[in-house]
Chains A and B, each alone.
Chain A
């Protein structure tokens, strides 16, 4: 978990009140180290309470657009963070055996709380180098074909599949189209539905369009409190609806992209609460909550036959939207 060691914070624009208070706190702490004194300690305690309250207030009423920004926060835990926090014996697998290896989607074998599992997800990367390597989590056809291969392997060996969803969408490029992006996503959805082992997905940041669905057609779909799941990114939606991508905030509101909206539409099964101030403030705590939720889903399927697992998954999706 190297990337959480140095405590350098990125503040979102609506977090400014907190940023100001925490800035002052940091100054006071340096002062305290140098001089000490009762007065300073009191001031620190007072400001800390104030900062905590400001954070709670802000995060208690995030707008859909603010949630979108939290979902994309650079310090928000990504798939590889979840894997390292929750999966032991992680053994990455690579390649679609047809064309190449797409690192926008990572995955492999591992153990989740003593259960052998297959785990996979979109990885956005956490610095310039890794972002480029993972193509910002925007997969090409070979990425989706890799997920199909991993899922089929899981099915053959009776392993449950855990997926982490975090993508703005599938990559729109010439090569991706040439190699059949649409077909790759369609086969991904098909493969999700065909699995005879329990499957659970967690939308940890952005669930963007078909590129997200390709790995999210699972027995249980869980969503982190401040993540979003949408038919098209707010920017793309704004560009389609108003021919103006700068109206992304309006689109985020109109498109109903938040976890609570999706729970209301019964598109997701459960919302996983995040620590105050979002998962990036306390990544371990957030990932631990996700771990508990995943475990309880997998427990539900202990001893359930493959046909029944498949049937329940199909019926869940077929029923979707029929009663709202």
Chain B
């Protein structure tokens, strides 16, 4: 990967774009306690420079970092029936949703975008843990389906960054039904013979892991991410045993055959690009000699945007 893209450009962007000053200018590494200045952390793709600990990356940064020149178009996702259960626990579900919308500026937890990755068109989904723990409700389910369908229509790979605590309890059974619903869309993309790549980020658990996040052609995990079906607390309560160190972490999943690779965030973009190009039989970027018989060597043009570009 070109280090200039990843290290220098976000820094420059950081200087150009005026941002609100975060309350906490220094971020503490949860592993080592090392203090990092927030701007340095951002410039390092939210990876603690000393320990290599991967902090959560904001959904928008994900998209900007992945697409060429940080440019992409947002794909609109369908509105869904609001609060079908008329749910309240300590608070009304409708109020919780309102808060999350105000906090994130988003309608729900999954956003879909379209753009190019090293000139190759790709459709990308990002699950935002900041929006009610990335929980899978009807809106997120529809968004994942939209992403997979968009990829099938536009003949692009679908790259999904998963992060979720699991089902959105406040939508009850309708949340559970997002598991088969999203799986239908995964099957359709598979039938269209287009790549579906899942990037499992911290944390991905529950109904999300037990459906679309474990059905990719390629599974990539970010280092140290918690990935599993049942949460560690539930397992500990059930079996009344201490869990082994590293249990349900990316490296553990790699060892047990559930993911293809654990990839450092600095190498993620190049890895995704390389995989997409191989699966689509596009020429390699690493070779100066074009691959003979490659179907389309010319750079692909972006079709006109369907939705308004994000910010």
Interface residues of A (CB under 8 A from B): 170-174, 176-183, 185-187, 189-190, 192-194, 209-210, 213-214, 217, 229-232, 236-237, 240-242, 254-257, 261-262, 265, 267, 314, 317-318, 320-322, 324
CB distance from A4 to the nearest CB of B (A): 31
**CB-based contact B243/A213 at 8 Å:** no
**CB-based contact B177/A177 at 8 Å:** no
Q: Is B285 close to A, CB under 8 A?
A: no
**CB-based contact A189/B84 at 8 Å:** no
Q: List 16 A-B contacts (CB under 8 A).
A: A172-B230, A172-B235, A181-B230, A185-B210, A186-B179, A189-B180, A210-B176, A231-B169, A231-B207, A255-B172, A255-B173, A256-B172, A262-B173, A267-B177, A314-B187, A318-B184
Q: Contacts of B205 on A, CB cut-off 8 Å?
A: 182
B248's nearest neighbour on chain A, judged by CB, is A177
Which of the residues A170, A240, A324 comes within 8 Å of B229, measured between beta carbons?
Answer: A170
Stretch of B25-33, B34-42, B86-94 on the interface side? B86-94
Q: A183-B209, A213-B176, A242-B90 are in contact. List 4 more A-B contacts (CB 8 A).
A: A177-B247, A186-B210, A241-B89, A318-B185
| B190-234 vs A, Cβ < 8 Å mask (1 yes, 0 no) | 000000000000000111011111110000000000011110001
CB distance from B212 to the nearest CB of A (A): 7
Q: Contacts of B213 on A, CB cut-off 8 Å?
A: 182, 186
Q: Is B257 close to A, CB under 8 A?
A: yes
A182→B214 CA distance, assembly (Å): 7
Q: Is B145 close to A, CB under 8 A?
A: yes
Q: Tell me which of B177, B183, B257 has the highest count of chain A C-beta atoms within 10 A of its own C-beta.
A: B183
Q: Contacts of B214 on A, CB cut-off 8 Å?
A: 180, 182-183, 186-187
Q: Contacts of A240 on B, CB cut-off 8 Å?
A: 169
CB distance from A178 to the nearest CB of B (A): 5
Q: Which of B115-155 contact A (CB under 8 A)?
A: 138, 141, 145
CB distance from B226 to the nearest CB of A (A): 11
A185→B208 CA distance, assembly (Å): 11
**CB-based contact B256/A193 at 8 Å:** no
A320→B145 CA distance, assembly (Å): 13
Q: Contacts of A213 on B, CB cut-off 8 Å?
A: 176-177, 179-180
CB distance from B117 to the nearest CB of A (A): 26
B136's nearest neighbour on chain A, judged by CB, is A231
**CB-based contact A321/B210 at 8 Å:** no
**CB-based contact B187/A181 at 8 Å:** no
**CB-based contact A318/B177 at 8 Å:** no
Which of the residues B186, B229, B234, B235 comes within 8 Å of A210, measured between beta carbons?
Answer: B229
**CB-based contact A255/B85 at 8 Å:** yes
B187's nearest neighbour on chain A, judged by CB, is A193
A164→B131 CA distance, assembly (Å): 36
Assess A177 versus B235: contact at CB under 8 Å? Given A193-B180, A231-B175.
yes
**CB-based contact A265/B174 at 8 Å:** yes
CB distance from B251 to the nearest CB of A (A): 13
**CB-based contact B243/A229 at 8 Å:** no
Q: Contacts of B138 on A, CB cut-off 8 Å?
A: 321
**CB-based contact B239/A178 at 8 Å:** no
Q: Is B181 close to A, CB under 8 A?
A: yes
A242→B89 CA distance, assembly (Å): 7
**CB-based contact B247/A174 at 8 Å:** yes
CB distance from B308 to the nearest CB of A (A): 24
Q: Contacts of B175 on A, CB cut-off 8 Å?
A: 231
A170→B248 CA distance, assembly (Å): 16
Number of interface residues of B (CB under 8 A): 55
Q: Contacts of A322 on B, CB cut-off 8 Å?
A: 80-81
Q: Tell me which of A189, A237, A314 has the highest count of chain B C-beta atoms within 10 A of its own C-beta.
A: A189
CB distance from A111 to the nearest CB of B (A): 28
| B227-260 vs A, Cβ < 8 Å mask (1 yes, 0 no) | 1111000110011010110011000100011100
Q: Contacts of B45 on A, CB cut-off 8 Å?
A: none
A186→B230 CA distance, assembly (Å): 14
Q: Contacts of B176 on A, CB cut-off 8 Å?
A: 209-210, 213, 230-231
Q: Is B110 close to A, CB under 8 A?
A: no
Which of the residues A171, A236, A254 comes within 8 Å of B85, measured between beta carbons?
Answer: A254
A209→B169 CA distance, assembly (Å): 11
**CB-based contact B187/A194 at 8 Å:** yes
A217→B184 CA distance, assembly (Å): 10
CB distance from B169 to the nearest CB of A (A): 6
A229→B252 CA distance, assembly (Å): 32
Which of the residues B167, B183, B238 comes within 8 Å of A186, measured between beta carbons?
Answer: B183
A242→B252 CA distance, assembly (Å): 31
**CB-based contact A256/B173 at 8 Å:** yes
B209's nearest neighbour on chain A, judged by CB, is A182
**CB-based contact B234/A257 at 8 Å:** no
**CB-based contact A172/B234 at 8 Å:** yes
**CB-based contact B248/A189 at 8 Å:** no
Q: Which of B39-89 contact A (CB under 8 A)?
A: 80-81, 84-85, 87-89
**CB-based contact A229/B177 at 8 Å:** no
Assess A183 versus B258: contact at CB under 8 Å? Given A210-B207, A230-B172, A321-B81.
yes
Q: Contacts of A170 on B, CB cut-off 8 Å?
A: 210, 229-230
A255's nearest neighbour on chain B, judged by CB, is B172
**CB-based contact A210/B210 at 8 Å:** yes
Q: Contacts of A242 on B, CB cut-off 8 Å?
A: 89-90
Q: Contacts of A181 on B, CB cut-off 8 Å?
A: 210, 228-230
CB distance from B83 to the nearest CB of A (A): 11
Q: Contacts of B179 on A, CB cut-off 8 Å?
A: 186, 189, 210, 213
CB distance from A265 to the nearest CB of B (A): 6
